[in-house]
Structure 1
């Protein structure tokens, strides 16, 4: 019985190691050809407000974009100044650190095919939301990505939540020019990383 117990533990450990290192090999082999429309890219940026966002939301990411593939071209939709498309290579230059790529678990080919039309009909050109509010006509980066994907996927467990600004209150007062919108609903880039409606598929440099 003791031998069986040890063998069971060994097999469990072996399975765990294989799964971990197998996953690492997938990440190591990841390249842009694996990207699909609707994939979310998270960036760790170094601007001062970016660092404050990361500190408030307890994660390494402060900016986000969403993949839109047109033919052989790969674009990223982002809200920075306004909502617009740019080449993937240009988007990745915004950070010197690896970008994390997430895939919505409920995205399928039919939904991907409707993504581009929805983007151009509803989201392209919307101004950036400097006030980080949820219920106006402007959009900050992660708000844009959440809302366009929610239109297509209809998230169930992944919802907007009250945002906190208390860790860096004085900075946010200066940033907004008034009292921060403490407790108002919102979404941060790090919320995508923690959501069970996405899974990690790799990193891009």
Structure 2
């Protein structure tokens, strides 16, 4: 029988090494679970040091679009559903020498640019400018028709309530015949994150499972299974809420879609965005 040989000092490091290895494995598992649960990591803010408000204002032109990451409760879910850190947008204009932003929050309002910048995450901002010539006064006047109106927490496409990118889109469409951004169906967003699922369930009370075979207690956790079933021969739309089906097909315009409009050019941006 071969005799077991223990190298001098080896036992001394075995337990710490095993502990470190276990911690690394645990950390890897947590990161993996976090990615699956909360979605892809957000794109990092760049440009250090960044421009101050005065320097940014020197770059502005009336009609510019300003994008940022808000710190509201819905900002994280929006970022994960759209795979982008940009969760809010407004239109810049000038009045009596002051730079202002027309934005859809609760309610739709006009905000000093400095204040708009300060409430964003780390004060970071992106400025995009329409390439076409247009009358900015007509755009702002078109947008002002919703001034003091309610924010649309359900992200619908009606004219009774507004969310941020919808207000920008409709103001430019009505005031300058420009369509900034591409509409997409709600069902094309990424619902895999728990944060997104909780937001949608809370606000919309969507029901994705009422049949015995696909009973998931109105939980978007199984949204992908729902889509797979919908595309199969077993699909029975009559088993689902008509409101749910209609909402999935309804149009939505995300801030990142607006940011990527080919009708815009970047003036300044503190985000790394592909």
**Bin of the TM-score, shorter chain as denominator length:** 0.7 to 0.9
Tell me what 2:137 maps to. 113
Max Rg structure: 2
- Runs (4+) of structure 1 moved beyond 4 Å? 27-30
Q: 1:194 to 1:102 in 2, by over 3 A?
A: same
Q: Residues 141-152 of structure 1 correspond to what in structure 2 (within 5 A)?
A: 141-152=164-175
1:102 equivalent in alignment to 2:128 = yes
Cα-Cα RMSD: 2.7
Tell me what 2:30 maps to. none
Structure 2: gaps spanning 5 or more residues: 1-46, 207-243
Q: Is this contact kept in 2: 1:53–1:62, CA < 8 A?
A: yes
State how far apart, in whole Å, the 2-side matches of 1:139 and 1:156 are.
Answer: 16
Q: Is this contact kept in 1: 2:80–2:190, CA < 8 A?
A: no
Q: Residues 79-98 of structure 1 correspond to what in structure 2 (within 5 A)?
A: 79-95=104-120, 96-98=122-124
Which whole-Å deviations, capped at 9, do the CAs of 1:24-80 have from their partners, x for residues lacking one?
Answer: 9xx979621221221111111243420110111121201111112113111011111
Give the TM-score, by structure 2 length.
0.58
Q: Is this contact kept in 2: 1:165–1:182, CA < 8 A?
A: no
State how far apart, in whole Å, the 2-side matches of 1:198 and 1:66 are.
Answer: 13
Give the TM-score, by structure 1 length.
0.75
Structure 1: gaps spanning 5 or more residues: 1-23
Instruction: Determine which structure has greater relative contact order: mean sequence separation of CA pairs < 8 Å that are 6+ residues apart, divided by chain length.
Output: 1
State how far apart, in whole Å, the 2-side matches of 1:156 and 1:124 are.
Answer: 21
Q: Residues 1-205 of structure 1 correspond to what in structure 2 (within 5 A)?
A: 31-95=56-120, 96-108=122-134, 111-120=135-144, 122-155=145-178, 158-163=181-186, 164=189, 166-168=191-193, 170-179=197-206, 181-203=247-269
Q: Is this contact kept in 1: 2:169–2:180, CA < 8 A?
A: no
Shift of 1:187: 0.7
Q: Is this contact kept in 2: 1:28–1:202, CA < 8 A?
A: no
- Considering fraction of residues, name the structure with more strand: 1
Deviates more, 1:169-178 or 1:186-195: 169-178
